[in-house]
């Protein structure tokens, strides 16, 4: 009979919101977490830490002094921040207000045990002595701050992000875990809003709202992440093959710096330098415009699409494709196309708005989403750009709510003359 071999288990640390990014590649997780080979954070990491430190301290000062703004305190706290962090902080200084009456705490460490019950509860949380199980934490997170609104049975978790690229928090583990922490620590809370503030830009936020009925789904999301984490440790402890998977997370992996990734030959993040990628992008942009224009001219002239078949018999077709879209009219016009349609009382018909108002009358508790509805400005701007509508144009601009959008693009060289810049730069939503 063979001898039993005792396997030394590697300790599984608590699941954190950043665990989601690291676990996207099991090999990355092994190197960074189990072996402790974390890539130095660099300027980007320092920038984020500096901004969060100033944000948390400033909120605490405003709460202590019972003021919504304190520019002198902000300036004092921001001293010593790096150049990029200082630039970002100066951009939010004058427009940021602290809702101090509802501020519970900042940088609060929140933990749940294996049964998703609060443990190691911070003393700043009301009722902490009653809900603490005292068990080992398996899930840990540190919300930037917590704002409680008992009158609405709701809590807001604002989170400052200094990322250049805005993103939606809906499917992030951070949003789900933080919201779960709140529901489990504050039994009275029925709704949690997790809101990202992208502080590089003015008035650019993204948010997701969870209700208490979502708690089972939030628990399952956290449990699934925990089980994936445990499985990586299980495979590592038994010397099972650890898979390497390329993706955005490669930028943070220690195997990227010395090209020691086991799939380096095939990993897109290791095949070209980023200067080489930009060169290729510029070449492809110019080629693509000429190529697309040539194909369009051929289809227009022949009336036939271009068909390419691969060796598996699959066909790729370039040509016109018809589709259907729905238009939601703001007003209804009479048959003459010049006058507005009205009802029997002479009230102008607004078909979509009327339906929404009817909904509000029937379901007054389900109108919170009305604030997300909007009129896209492109079509309206076109109609207002005439001299006789200049007053209306200005009135609409005054009533409009500005929203920051971010696009990633290749900028023009500084020595390019205006007349040499036909066409738009290659750009896409960031």
Which range, 212-226, 265-279, 376-390, has the best average confidence (pLDDT)?
A: 212-226
Please give the pLDDT value at position 408.
63
How confident is the model over 321-334, as pLDDT tens digits?
A: 777 777 778 888 88
Strand-pairing partners, residue 160, are 197
Segment 279-308 shows an average pLDDT of 87
Tokens representing residue 131 in the block: 């809900």
303: pLDDT confidence band, cut at 50, 70 and 90?
Answer: confident
**Tally of CA atoms within 13 A in the half-sphere of 222 that contains its CB:** 29
User: What is the distance between the alpha carbons of residues 240 and 262, in angstroms, rounded to a whole number?
Assistant: 15
How confident is the model over 32-74, as pLDDT tens digits?
A: 999 988 766 666 677 888 899 999 999 999 999 999 999 999 9
Tokens representing residue 107 in the block: 């940088």
* Average pLDDT in the chain: 85
pLDDT at 379 over 80: no
pLDDT at 424 over 50: no
How confident is the model over 314-360, as pLDDT tens digits?
A: 788 888 877 777 777 888 888 888 888 888 888 898 888 888 888 89
Report the range of poorest mean pLDDT among 159-163, 181-185, 228-232, 266-270: 266-270
Helix and strand element counts for the chain (H, E)? 14, 12
Which range, 72-81, 309-318, 393-402, has the best average confidence (pLDDT)?
A: 72-81
- CA dihedral 167→170→172→178, nearest 10 degrees, is 120
411: pLDDT confidence band, cut at 50, 70 and 90?
Answer: low
Q: Rounded to 5, what percent of the chain is helix, strand, coil?
A: 45, 15, 40
pLDDT at 414 over 80: no
pLDDT at 208 over 90: yes
Please give the pLDDT value at position 175.
96
What percent of the chain is modeled with pLDDT above 90? 37
Cβ–Cβ contacts within 10 Å for residue 34, how many? Answer: 17
90: pLDDT confidence band, cut at 50, 70 and 90?
Answer: confident
What percent of the chain is modeled with pLDDT above 70? 89
Please give the pLDDT value at position 225.
94
User: What is the distance between the alpha carbons of residues 143 and 107, in angstroms, rounded to a whole number?
Assistant: 6
Question: In angstroms, how far is the first alpha carbon of the chain from the final one?
Answer: 62
116: left (phi over 0), alpha (psi -120 to 50) or beta: left
Please give the pLDDT value at position 34.
93
157: pLDDT confidence band, cut at 50, 70 and 90?
Answer: very high
Please give the pLDDT value at position 256.
78
DSSP 30: I
Residue (of 196, 220, 198, 193) closest to 206 by Cα position = 196
Report the range of poorest mean pLDDT among 3-7, 26-30, 49-53: 3-7
Segment 133-147 shows an average pLDDT of 94
Please give the pLDDT value at position 375.
76
Segment 94-104 shows an average pLDDT of 93
Residue (of 170, 183, 175) closest to 159 by Cα position = 175
CB-based burial, 270-288: b 16+ in 10 Å, e otherwise: beeeeeeeeeeeeeeeeee
Which range, 17-21, 224-228, 359-363, 406-410, has the best average confidence (pLDDT)?
A: 224-228
Report the range of poorest mean pLDDT among 28-42, 47-61, 187-201, 404-418: 404-418
How much is the pTM? 0.69
Residue (of 238, 112, 229, 119) closest to 181 by Cα position = 112
Please give the pLDDT value at position 420.
45
pLDDT at 419 over 50: no
Of 101 and 382, more confident: 101
Strand 118-119 and strand 205-211: pairing?
A: unpaired
- Residue 315 neighbours by CB under 8 Å, 6+ apart: 307, 308, 309
Strand-pairing partners, residue 191, are 154, 211
How confident is the model over 106-125, as pLDDT tens digits?
A: 999 999 999 999 999 988 88
Of 398 and 185, more confident: 185
Q: Write phi, then psi, for 208 (nearest 5 degrees).
A: -140, 145
Segment 350-375 shows an average pLDDT of 85
């Amino acid at each position: 009979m063979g001898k039993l071999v005792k396997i030394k288990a590697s300790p599984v640390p608590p699941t954190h919101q950043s665990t989601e990014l690291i676990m996207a590649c099991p090999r990355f997780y092994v190197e960074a977490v189990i072996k402790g080979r974390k890539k130095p954070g660099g300027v980007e990491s320092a920038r984020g830490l500096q901004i969060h430190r100033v944000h948390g301290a400033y909120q605490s000062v405003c709460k202590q002094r019972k003021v919504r703004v304190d520019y002198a305190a902000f300036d004092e706290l921001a001293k010593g921040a790096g150049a990029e962090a200082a630039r970002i902080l100066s951009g939010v200084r004058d427009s940021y207000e602290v809702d101090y009456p509802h501020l519970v705490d900042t940088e609060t460490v929140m933990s749940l045990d294996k049964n998703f019950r609060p443990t190691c509860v911070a003393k700043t949380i009301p009722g902490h002595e009653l809900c603490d199980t005292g068990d080992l934490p398996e899930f840990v997170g540190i919300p930037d701050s917590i704002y409680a609104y008992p009158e609405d049975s709701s809590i807001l978790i604002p989170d400052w992000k200094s990322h250049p690229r805005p993103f939606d928090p809906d499917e992030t583990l951070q949003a789900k875990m933080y919201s779960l922490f709140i529901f489990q620590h504050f039994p009275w809370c029925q709704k949690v809003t997790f809101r990202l503030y992208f502080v590089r830009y003015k008035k650019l936020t993204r948010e997701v709202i969870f209700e208490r009925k979502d708690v089972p789904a939030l628990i399952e999301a956290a449990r699934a992440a925990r089980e994936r984490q445990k499985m990586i440790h299980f495979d590592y402890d038994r010397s099972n093959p650890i898979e390497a998977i390329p993706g955005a997370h490669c930028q943070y992996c220690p195997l990227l710096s010395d090209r020691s990734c086991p799939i380096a030959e095939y990993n897109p993040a290791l095949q070209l330098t980023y200067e080489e990628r930009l060169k290729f992008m510029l070449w492809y942009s110019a080629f693509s415009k000429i190529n697309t224009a040539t194909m369009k001219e051929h289809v227009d002239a022949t009336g036939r699409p271009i068909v390419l078949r691969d060796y598996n018999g699959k066909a790729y077709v370039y040509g016109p494709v018809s589709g259907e879209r729905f238009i939601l009219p703001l007003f209804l016009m009479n048959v003459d196309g010049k006058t507005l349609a009205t009802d029997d009382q002479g009230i102008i018909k607004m078909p979509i708005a009327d339906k929404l108002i009817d909904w509000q009358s029937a379901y007054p508790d389900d109108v919170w989403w009305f604030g997300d509805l909007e009129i896209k400005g492109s079509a309206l701007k076109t109609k207002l750009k005439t001299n006789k509508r200049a007053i209306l144009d200005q009135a609409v601009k005054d009533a409009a709510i500005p929203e920051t959008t971010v696009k990633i693009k290749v900028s023009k060289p500084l020595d390019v003359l205006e007349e040499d810049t036909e066409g738009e730069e290659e750009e896409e939503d960031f």
